[in-house]
Structure 1
Amino acid sequence: MGRGDQIYVMRERMALQGVYEHHGIDCGDGTVIHYRKPSETIERTSMETFTRGGKIYICHHEVCYIAETVVMRAESRLGERKYNLLYNNCEHFATWCKTGTSYSTQSTNFIPIIKHLNPDALSDPIENAILDAKPKDSSILLNEALAEIKVAWNDIQPQYNQAVRDLNEWQRVAELALRKNREDLAREALYKKLNYKQKAIELKSHLDKLAQMTETLLKDAKVL
């Protein structure tokens, strides 16, 4: 690890409940230039501030600028406050300094994991990123987000329908057991019904949130 290296550490993803790579440029003097949270400003900080005690990794590129050029490029953007989760994040910045291309593997891979995230945690970051991006990029991100919301919907909807069928079936079993004076079986059936009812409620909540996200994104698209 040395001057001009693109380095990163693993951090907890606050709003999105996971782990992400936080990238920066090693200045070779114990400092790092990076998009600093929570100010979302490109700053030069100590290595300790950047790592927060985490292990440092080096991001390698087959073709890149020499060290002095990398650091000069990073310094040229000090004070910038144009952070965007999908369009201009810390990895975009560091990769641009190193190679001249603003690119983020994490951003490219982010949209497809929408279906694995809590919609509550997803809505604001995605919406804000799309609104802050350039019109051309916003259109692409919007279409990708809507496509993945559809994937999530298609994954959850069958589970919800099955949960509703199961709870109705256990209700029928409970009623049948009562007609046969088997209160023990009726109680067991009602217990299982309650489990499926709770599952159905949770899945319906996710569907409602996905629908709300879609409505919000389409509404915001009108102002892009």
Structure 2
Amino acid sequence: MARGDQIFTLQPLAAIQGLYEHHGIDCGDGTVVHLRKGNATIEQTSLAEFALGRPVSRRLYSTCYLPDTVIDRARSRLGERADYNLLFNNCEHFATWCKTGVHHSQQVEDFLPFLSRAQLETLSEPLRVALETGPAGETEQLVDRALDDLKAVWNEVQPRYRHAIAEARSWNRVARAALHRKREDLARAALHRKRAFERQAALDKDTLDRLARVTEMVLRARTVPARGAH
């Protein structure tokens, strides 16, 4: 790590380990300027307090401000009470602004495809709050992209689920026919294939159920007027 670096650690989000990157600016003197999620305040703390014992990485840029400028930009906002939002105004938005002048969060860009695999029960509340309190225009764009990603995964999983169900039924018929012919060896092999397809179907059914719940939540968020809407 070097003076003026944008650094981050992996932290849990809603009990999912390693999902959320907490970003800050390394001041080169053992301190970091960062936006704390808990009190939504931009503070300068020790590196140890920033990292909380977790490994620290740095974000590399091909073009960015010089280290002195980055630190000056970060310190110019010390004490600011930020209007924190998980998706639209988080610690990465702040740190990236310090480095490049652009208010951007790459992890939010990468987040939407994760929705299809997420443990919705642990994510739904923070995600719902973020969508319902985000800027109107940005929220609509994010919801539309989320729905596109969810639809793509649905279109991939649903045919596989239907195929697995059909195959399980087919192999069950093969097993019955083999037993009728007193071919227990063939029956056992057919039942093995049947169980494999049943396991696949169960996994896909769980994914489809989760997709349906996420889609419902995102659609509900779309119907709630976001802050800044008129």
TM-score of Structure 1 vs Structure 2, range by shorter chain: 0.7 to 0.9
Q: Is the CA contact 1:95–1:101 (under 8 Å) kept in the aligned structure 2?
A: yes
1:11–1:47 Cα change, 3 Å: same
Identity %: 39
2:76 matched to 1:73? yes
Query: After the TM superposition, which of the residue ranges 109-118 and 211-220 deviates more from structure 2?
Result: 109-118
Give per-residue Cα distances to partners, 1:169-198, cap 9 Å, x unaligned. Answer: 111111110110123322332233123212
Q: Give the AA of the match of 1:26.
A: D
Q: Name the counterpart of 1:11.
A: 10
Aligned-pair distance for 1:125? 4.4
**What is the total number of aligned residue pairs between the two structures?**
220
Separation (CA, whole Å) in 2 of partners of 1:175 and 1:62:
67
Structure 1 unaligned blocks of 5 or more: none
SS across alignment from 1:74: coil
SS at match of 1:162: helix
Residue-by-residue CA offset, 1:34-69 (whole Å, 9 max, x unaligned): 133555553332111223352442544624372453
Task: Tell me the distance in 2 between the aligned counterparts of 1:56 and 1:42.
Answer: 20
Distance 1:149 1:125 in 2: 18
> In 1, distance between residues paired with 2:20 and 2:173?
48
Using the alignment, how far apart are the partners of 1:163 and 1:34 within structure 2?
49
Specify the alignment match of 1:26 in structure 2: 26
Please, what TM-score do these two structures have when normalized by structure 1? 0.83
2:200 matched to which residue of 1? 199
Distance in 2 of aligned mates of 1:122 and 1:150: 19
| Aligned counterparts, 1:141-152, within 5 A | 141-152=142-153
Equivalent residue, structure 2, for 1:104? 105
**d(CA) in 1 for partners of 2:38 and 2:167?**
46
Partner of 1:42: 42
Taking structure 1 as reference, are residues 67 and 145 closer, same or farther at Cα in structure 2, changes over 3 Å only?
closer
Question: How far apart in 1 are the matches of 2:31 and 2:73?
Answer: 14
Distance 1:181 1:132, change over 3 A: same
For the Cα contact (< 8 Å) 1:25–1:74, is it kept in 2? no
Q: Give CA deviations for 1:115-163 in whole Å, capped at 9, x if unaligned.
A: 4545555544443321221111111111011111101101111210111
Whole-angstrom CA distance in 1 between matches of 2:35 and 2:10: 14
Counterpart of 1:186 in 2: which secondary structure? helix
Give 1:14 deviation, angstroms. Answer: 4.0
For the structure 1 residues 155 and 127, does the alpha-carbon distance in structure 2 shift closer, same or farther, using more than 3 Å as the test?
farther
Name the CA shift for 1:53/1:200 in 2 (closer, same or farther; >3 Å): closer
- Classify the secondary structure of the residue corresponding to 1:75: coil
RMSD: 2.7
In 2 relative to 1, CA 91–183 (structure 1 residues): closer, same or farther, beyond 3 Å? same
Distance 1:67 1:213 in 2: 38
SS at match of 1:64: coil
Question: Given residue 168 of structure 1, which amino acid in structure 2 is its aligned partner?
Answer: R
With over 3 angstroms needed to count, the CA separation of the structure-2 counterparts of 1:221 and 1:19, relative to structure 1, is: closer
8 A contact 1:119–1:209 mirrored in 2: yes
**Structure 1 residues 72 and 185: alpha-carbon distance in aligned structure 2, compared to 1, 3 A threshold:** same
Q: Match of 1:164, as an amino acid?
A: I
- State the distance in 1 between where 2:192 and 2:27 align: 62
Alpha-carbon distance in structure 2 between the residues aligned to 1:216 and 1:117: 13
For residues 106-185 of structure 1, what are the structure 2 equivalents within 5 Å?
Answer: 106-120=107-121, 123-185=124-186
Cα distance in 2 between the residues matched to 1:122 and 1:151: 20
| Structure-2 change in CA distance of 1:70 and 1:149 (3 Å) | same
SS at match of 1:102: coil
Is the 8 Å Cα contact of residues 34 and 91 (structure 2) preserved in structure 1?
Answer: yes
Tell me the amino acid that sits aligned with residue 173 of structure 1: V
CA apart distance, 1:90: 1.4
